[in-house]
Amino acid sequence: MQINFDNERPIFIQIAEWIEDAILAGAFPEETQIPSITEFSVNYKINPATALKGINILVEEGIVYKKRGIGMFVAAGAVKKLKEKRKEQFYDNFIRKLVDEAKRLEISKDEVINLLERGYDHEYRN
């Protein structure tokens, strides 16, 4: 799997987010092992200290945990925790930006709501 690192944010945060996405997508189910620091490092050509720092964020949040001598595992309840966290960020990451851009482009509130509905309809059609 590919990660396209951007320059705007530290790499370790992007690694952590990538693992979160993979957990949410079911690629790493709860109670299964995630790749090792070395695997992350070699695969994405990043310094092992960077990979470790990214994974440590998730350890601190209780999303993954370490089994001594074996490796890192996805914690039970990780998906629920991540969904809650992402929901909290949803307003800041998406809604605020959407409203800002709509105002810049002078798109009315009603138009935005129409567009949202169109988005959902499109989703159903597929």
Partner 1 sequence: MLGRNGAGKTTLLNIITNRIFPDTGEVLIDGIPVKENDDALKKVYMMSENNFYPAGMKIKEIYRWTKEFYPDFDTEYANKLADMFELSLNKTVKSLSTGYNSIFKIIIALSVNTPYVFLDEPVLGLDANHRDMFYRLLLEKYSESPSTYVLSTHLIEEVSNVIEHIIILKKGKIIKDESREDLMSYGYAVSGKVSLVDEFIIDKNVIGIDSIGGLKSAYIMGQVPKGNLPEGLEISKMDLQKLFIKLTDN
Contact between 101 and partner 1 by CB under 8 A: the answer reads no
Candidate segments 4-12, 17-25, 85-93, 110-118, binder of partner 1 by CB under 8 A = 4-12
Distance of closest approach, residue 15 Cβ to partner 1, in angstroms: 10
51-54 — which CB contacts under 8 Å span 24+ positions? 51/12, 51/15, 53/12, 54/11, 54/12, 54/13, 54/14, 54/15, 54/16, 54/19
**78 neighbors 30 (Cβ within 8 angstroms):** yes
Question: Measured from the CB of residue 10, what is the shortest distance to partner 1 in angstroms?
Answer: 7
Give the Cα separation of 54 and 11 in Å (integer). Answer: 8
Residue 45, CB half-sphere, CA atoms under 13 Å: how many? 4
Task: Considering only residues 37 through 56, tell me which ones interact with partner 1, judged by CB under 8 A.
Answer: 37-38, 41-42, 44-50
> Least distance in Å: CB of 16 to partner 1?
15
Q: Which is nearer to partner 1, 48 or 77 (CB)?
A: 48
Residues of this chain that bind partner 1 (CB under 8 A):
5, 7-8, 10-11, 37-38, 41-42, 44-50
